Amino acid sequence: MLDASDDIHPLFHGAPSTTEFKKLRKRIVRETREAIEQYGMIERGARWLVCLSGGKDSYTLLAALYELKWRGLLPVDLLACNLDQGQPGFPATVLPAFLSAKGVPHRIEYQDTYSIVVDKVPRGRTYCALCSRLRRGNLYRIAREEGCSAVVLGHHRDDILETFFMNLFHGSRLATMPPKLVNEDGDLFVYRPLAHVAEADCERFAKAMDYPIIPCDLCGSQDGLQRQQVKALLDTWEKNHPGRRQKMFRALTNARPSHLLDPKLFDFAGLVRANAAFDENPI
């Protein structure tokens, strides 16, 4: 998979030649492929809208998908897309210049949702929920305009774990980001091919490739968000017990409805004992 520089996509030009980096790259690409295959994301000949924020995760997503496509393992058309939401200080030229230099087909869309969020969200409240809803609506629209069947996001394993605990602690439900879903209108898939990839690997990869990272704090994201608190908790667990994140993630893929408490998932009322018939008809 890791051949000479003339046999790789331009997204990998200049990649470090160290054994450590080659292992990292191979692991990310392998885990991305595993998620795509495990959750049935491939529709041959489909077109995917690959959403880029300019953060480490979206750069990693783009590179992994193009690696698979370059190797003939992802028979879909890819269109990169960045939604410029009008945050103060957003470097609007960074992504267009990067994508053009790498020969990646792309669409840059400007929609000033930042002003809407600032106007609607009371002072002191977090912007993230409304901002993400507005962003999602625009991305769905762009996908339809571009003839895409799927919107592809860069959420990784740790995002999925954090969302699970957010729902557990604050939403009173067992739920997280699914790797594949259909939108509310029923006309688009939403994929998360990095579902098996660790955030630390995304960070190491993007840093090693020296991709032009755009920080996600341009909107003035507030410190002390619930998600940051959950992230800190998971960091502590991982530090004290290395590998705990991966074990918790595996648990999400190994649910046992009969050992939970939701009667909508398991027919507890219909359970019968093996010898119930004998009890009803004693000799």
Q: What is the pLDDT of residues 48-92, one digit of tens each?
A: 999 999 999 999 999 999 999 999 999 999 999 998 888 888 888
Domain of 140, in residue numbers: 5-219
Please report the beta strands in 52-204, taking only residues with DSSP state E, as ranges in sequence order: 77-84, 106-110, 150-152, 180-182, 189-191
- Domain tally for the chain? 1
Position 2 scores a pLDDT of: 47
Position 279 scores a pLDDT of: 58
Query: Is residue 241 one of the residues assigned to a domain?
Result: no
Residue 274 has pLDDT above 50, yes or no: yes
Query: Is residue 253 one of the residues assigned to a domain?
Result: no
Query: Is residue 56 one of the residues assigned to a domain?
Result: yes
Phi and psi (nearest 5°) for 192?
A: -130, 80
Angle among Cα 64, 69, 73 to the nearest 5 degrees reads 100
Give the whole-angstrom CA distance, residue 202 versus residue 29: 11
What is the percentage of the chain residues whose pLDDT exceeds 70? 91
Residue 37 has pLDDT above 50, yes or no: yes
Q: Coil, strand, or helix at residue 180? A: strand
Q: What is the DSSP letter of 256?
A: -
pLDDT band at 1 (very low <50, low <70, confident <90, very high): very low
Query: Is residue 79 one of the residues assigned to a domain?
Result: yes
What is the percentage of the chain residues whose pLDDT exceeds 90? 71
Q: Coil, strand, or helix at residue 22? A: helix
In this prediction the pTM is 0.89
Give the full edge-to-edge strand order of the sheet including 106-110: 106-110, 77-84, 47-51, 150-152, 189-191, 180-182
- Dihedral, CA of residue 244, residue 161, residue 73 and residue 212, to nearest 10: -100
Query: Is residue 282 one of the residues assigned to a domain?
Result: no
CATH of the domain at 86: 3.40.50.620
Q: What is the pLDDT of residues 160-214, one digit of tens each?
A: 999 999 999 989 999 999 999 999 999 999 999 999 999 999 999 999 999 999 8
Query: Is residue 225 one of the residues assigned to a domain?
Result: no
Query: Is residue 237 one of the residues assigned to a domain?
Result: no
Q: What is the pLDDT of residues 88-122, one digit of tens each?
A: 888 889 999 999 999 999 999 998 877 887 777 77
